[in-house]
Amino acid sequence: MPAEYNIKNQKSPEDNYQSGLLPQRNQPGLYYRDSSCRSNFVNFSLSSENRRILKKTEQYTYQTFQPTFPLNIVDQKTILRWIKGLGWEFPINSVKTVFTRHIFNHFYTWSDTNRQVVGYSACFRSSASNQPKVASIAYVFYDPRLQNSNFPIRMVLQEVINSHDQGYQYCYLGRFQPPSIGYYKRNLPGFEYYSNGHWLPYQSSKK
């Protein structure tokens, strides 16, 4: 099914995520529908694969910022250089929007053993008392030299673990279009994907 872009929606972010919508990167209040997925924490447990990822990436450390991120010109130049190295199409104006003018309110900066920054991520954490308590990891940016390592998966896995430990019910994970987009996400705790108005465990697609 082709993606539906620029859906204007006046519902809360929590409702939109629950309905399988994802936030459009350029403008708050716009969403799109394109193969959303999430971790459901009802029966949370780490698999042997999750623990392997944690073990293989234990040299990386992170710092979190909320509700705002102090994006400076050095960060912008670093992210832009990484985007070009990864071959992504992601304008620097969109980067600025994601980190400074969007719904995202929980951010990570990742460093290696030499204290060199190797990754950034932008997340959403809900706070409405009358809504399900949900999290979302929306965008990750990382050093292209780590593209084929376990590190990009660790960035997502860590937000899943942290949001579970802090009492959230779901962590939304962005797009899932196997085998090319987000296929690794199927191994994350409580993985579900959105299809025809329902959230389904991945294995149900095999039946």
Q: Residues of 46-82 as b/e, b for ≥16 C-beta within 10 angstroms?
A: beeebeebbeebeebebeeeeeebebeeebeebbeeb
Note the pLDDT of residue 70: 96
Question: Where do the domains of the chain lie?
Answer: 4-206
Q: pLDDT tens track of the chain, all 207 residues?
A: 346 556 666 689 999 999 999 999 998 889 998 889 999 999 899 999 999 999 999 999 999 999 999 999 999 999 999 999 999 999 999 999 999 999 999 999 999 999 999 999 999 999 877 778 999 999 999 999 999 999 999 999 999 999 999 999 999 999 988 777 778 999 999 999 999 899 999 874 444
User: What phi-psi label fits residue 14: left (phi over 0), alpha (psi between -120 and 50 degrees) or beta?
Assistant: alpha
Q: Which residue has the tokens 């190797």?
A: 118
Q: What is the CATH number of domain 4-206?
A: 3.40.630.30
Match 């994601």 to its residue by tokens. Answer: 98
Question: Looking at residue 66, what is its pLDDT?
Answer: 96
Q: How long is the chain?
A: 207
pLDDT on residue 205: 45
Structure pTM?
0.91
Q: In this predicted structure, what is the pLDDT of residue 206?
A: 47
pLDDT at 128: 76
Structure tokens at 168: 């959230």
**Reduced to 3 states, what is the DSSP secondary structure of residue 153?**
helix
